[in-house]
Amino acid sequence: MQNMKAARLKKILNFLKSPKLAVAMIVLLIILFLTATFVPQGQAETFYLTHYPGFIARLIILTHYYNFYRSSIFLIPLFLFFINLIICTFSRIIARFLHKAPLRFGPDLIHISILLFIASGIASLRFQEQEVVIPEGGSALLSSGHKIEMFHQLSIPKDLAENSSIDLYYKVSKNGVLIKEGWLANEKILEFDNFIISRQPDFWEQVLILKDENLEYYELKPGIGFRMENRNFIFKGISPEYSRDQENKHTLSSEFYLAALFVEQESDIESRTIIKNRGDKIGPFIVHDLLLAYRFIIKEKSDAEFIIGAGVLFICGLGLTFLQKTGDTKL
Amino acid sequence: MTTGALLLILKVCALVAFMLQISAISVQIVYIIKRKEKTDPVSHWLLLSAAVFLFLYTALRSLLIGFVALTTIVECLVFFSAVSMLLLFIYRLIYVQKLIHFIVLGGSLISLLLLAIASSPLMRDAVHVPIPELRSLWLVLHVSLAFIGEAFFLVAFVVSIIYLLQHDDNQKQELEKLLYRTVVIGYLIFTAGALICGAIWARHAWGRYWSFDDPKETWAFITWLTYTAYLHTRFFRKWRGKLSALLCIIGFLFTLFTLFGVSYLLEGPHSYL
C-alpha cells in the first residue's frame, strides 16, 4: 500500500517537473500574452459589449480578460509553470549533489533567476498604481499621509522663443513638515520615501468656467462651445500665456498667466482664433475662471532592485550552459 | 562640416551600401544557379563593405543628432541591417558548411528588405535630436544588444527554413547544431539587451522596470518565451528537428511583429519607435 502511494507520488512529481509540462505552459502563456495585447485592458464591461461580437465580449468578461494580469486564466498557468520550475530546479540540484546528475549548474542558475523574476512579479502585484489629478495650486493626500502640492510655472526658454512650456513646482509634506520641494520637469520622475510619481504630459484637465449676467455659471471642456448671432464660439483649450512689452516681445520679467483659446466661426470656412483672459467678455458671458490640472501616476516602490541581480544570474547561467554544452557531442 | 553636407554624405552612404548589398546578392545567386562547387569568393566582402557603409551612416547621423543614432525606427533598421550583414560575413568565414551560401543568401535578402523598408517613404525619417528620456546609455545598450540578438535570430530563421527543406540527414544534423548555437548566442544577447537593459532604462525613463501595459515590452517577452520553448524542445528526440525549427521561424516572425506590427497597430509608450 505504502509502495503504491510512493509510486503515485513519484508519478505526480515526475509530471510536475517534466520539461514537457514546461513547454506546454510556455506555449500556453505565449498564446495568452499574445491575445491579451489585442484586448484593451481595464475598460468597463459595456466597452467590450459594444466593440466586440457578442460571443467574444461575453468570453472576455467571463474570463476576466479585461484585467488579464490579475485573472485566474493567466495566474493559474503561471503558478503551474512556477511549481514546475521549483520542482525541476531543486530535484536537479539535489541529484547533482548526490552525484546522480552531471555537475552542470548553468541551467540551475537560469531557473533560479526565472523563479526570482516570477516571485518578484507576483510580489509587485500588491503595489498598485494610482492615478491622481492635481489642479494648479491644488494638492493630493496619499494614504501614507503625504501631501503633494503642485504649482504651475511658465518656463520661458533662454532665447525667448515662442515655444514656452509649463513646468511644475512641487512640495511634498507630511504632518505639516516639508519633506521635499523642487521643479518637476516633464520627463522627470519625482521620488520620495517609498513613492515614485510620474507626470502624464498629454493628460491635463482643462476646464473653463463662464458666467452670464444672471450670475449663472457654466462649465466648458475643450471642444464644447456656444452659438450667438450665427457665430460659433468653440472652446479649444487653455494656453499658457505671458505678458509682452510694448514691442510685443517677451522679456525675462514676463509674467505667466492662463488664457482661454476660442475658435470663432462665422461660416463653415471662415474662422479665427481668439484669446480671452480672466474677466474678459465673450459673447453673452464673462470668463470667470480657468482650471488646469495635470494627471499623475503614483506608484509605491517595490523592492525590485534585486531583479537586476536575477538578470545577471540568468546571463551567467546561460553563458555557463552554453560553454559546458559546446564540448558535448550531442549538441 | 555643414549639416547639409553631412545629410548628403548620409544619403550617399545609404545608397552605396544598398548597391553593394544588391551586388553581393547578385553574385550569390549567379553562383547558386551555376551550381559551382565552391562558394563565391567575393560576395561576403561586398556584404562587409555594405555593413561598413551602414555603420558609417549610423556614426554620421549620431554626429548630426548629438547622440547615438538608435532612437528612431529608421536608425534602428539601418543598424539591424548592418549588424545582420556583419554577422553573415562572420558566418561565411567561420562555417565550412555546404549550405552556407544558401544561409548567407537568405540572410542577405532579409537584410536588404530591412534596408528597403528603412528607405521607404512610409517611414518617418526626420533627423532630429532625441527627446530627453531617450538620451541614456541604457537605451543605447538596450537597443543595440536587442538588435544584435535579433540579427542572430534572423540567421536562425534562415537556417530553420533550410533545415525544413533539407532531406539529407547528415546535413540536417549539421544544420541543427548550427541552429542551436545561433539561437543560444542570440538568446543570451537578446535577454541582456531587450529584457535586462530595457528594464533598467524603463526604470530611469518611466519609473518602473516592466509594464505589461506596453505591448512592445509584452511582445519582446513573447519572442523571448518562444525561443525559451525552442531551447526546451531540444530535450526530446521527437520534438527536436521540425518542431524546433518551426519555433525558430515563429520566433523571428514575432521579432518582426514586435518591430513593425506593435509600432503601427498597437499603442504604447514605445510608439515613437
Q: Choose, out of B232, B243, B270, the residue to mutate when testing the contact with A (most A CBs < 10 Å).
A: B232
Q: Per mean pLDDT, which range of A128-142, A169-183, A276-290, B243-257 is the poorest?
A: A128-142
Instruction: Name the residue with higher pLDDT: A240 or B235.
Output: B235
Put simply, the answer to whether A315 touches B188 (Cβ < 8 Å) is yes
A189 with B207: Cβ contact below 8 A: yes
pLDDT at A233 over 60: yes
pLDDT of residue A175: 81
Q: How many interface pairs between A and B have CB atoms less than 8 angstroms apart? A: 84
Query: Which stretches within chain A are classed as H helix?
Result: 2-16, 19-36, 45-51, 54-62, 72-97, 106-123, 306-326
* Residue of A121, A297, A315 lying closest to B192 (CB–CB): A315
Give the separation between CA B187 and CA B224, rounded to whole angstroms: 7
pLDDT of the residue at A327: 53
Q: Any idea how long chain A is?
A: 331
Look at residue A30 in the predicted model and tell me its pLDDT.
94
User: Is residue A329 over pLDDT 80?
Assistant: no
CB pair distance less than 8 Å for B196 and A308: yes
Rounded to two decimals, the ipTM of the complex is 0.86
Looking at per-residue pLDDT, the higher value among A73 and A168 belongs to A73
What integer pLDDT is reported at residue B112 of this predicted model?
Answer: 93
- The total of other beta-carbon atoms located within 10 Å of residue B69's CB is 24
pLDDT for res B265: 72
What pLDDT is recorded for position A11?
Answer: 85
Q: B194: which DSSP letter?
A: I
Mean pLDDT of chain B: 87
Query: CB–CB of B236 and A36 under 8 A?
Result: no
Residue A278 pLDDT exceeds 90: no
When pLDDT is cut at 50, 70 and 90, the band that residue A227 belongs to is confident
Specify the pLDDT at position B142.
93
B19: nearest Cα among B50, B55, B44: B50
- Residue B99 is given by DSSP the state T
Residues of chain B predicted below pLDDT 70 = 1, 36-37, 132-133, 207-208, 267-273
Residue type (1 letter), A50: T
Q: How confident is the model at residue A330 (pLDDT cuts 50, 70, 90)?
A: very low
Give the global pTM: 0.72
A19–chain B nearest CA distance, Å: 7
∠ Cα A235 A238 A242 (to 5°): 130
Distance CA A64, CA A45 (A): 10
Which of residues A59 and B36 earns the better pLDDT score?
A59
**Can you give the pLDDT at residue A164?**
47
What is the model's pLDDT at position A269? 62
Q: Are A154 and A259 in contact (CB under 8 A)?
A: no
Whether residue A159 has pLDDT greater than 50: no
The closest alpha carbon to A144, from A305, A304, A299, belongs to: A299
pLDDT of residue B207: 66
Structure confidence at residue A305 (pLDDT): 62
Percent helix / strand / coil, chain B, rounded to 5:
80, 0, 20
Residue of B nearest to A125 (CA): B211
User: In B, which residues are within 8 Å of A69 by CB distance?
Assistant: 212
Contact list in A for residue B226 (CB cut-off 8 A) is: 30
Of A39-43, A280-284, B228-232, the poorest mean pLDDT is in A39-43
Q: What is the pLDDT of residue A186?
A: 61
- Stretch A240-254: mean pLDDT: 59
pLDDT at residue A187, as a whole number: 59
In chain B, residues 185-204 whose CB comes closer than 8 Å to chain A = 185, 187-188, 191-192, 195-196, 199-200, 203
On the 0-12 / 13-18 / 19+ scale of CB atoms within 10 A, A284 is exposed
Give the best-scoring range by mean pLDDT among A39-48, A176-185, B38-47.
Answer: B38-47
* pLDDT tens, residue by residue, A88-123: 888 888 888 887 777 778 888 888 888 887 777 666
Residue of chain A whose Cα is closest to the Cα of B219: A34
Q: Between B133, B177, B212, which is nearest A187 by CB?
A: B133
Which long-range contacts link A268-275 to residues 24+ away (Cβ below 8 Å)?
A273/A236, A275/A239, A275/A241
Q: CA of B230, closest CA in chain A: separation in Å? A: 9
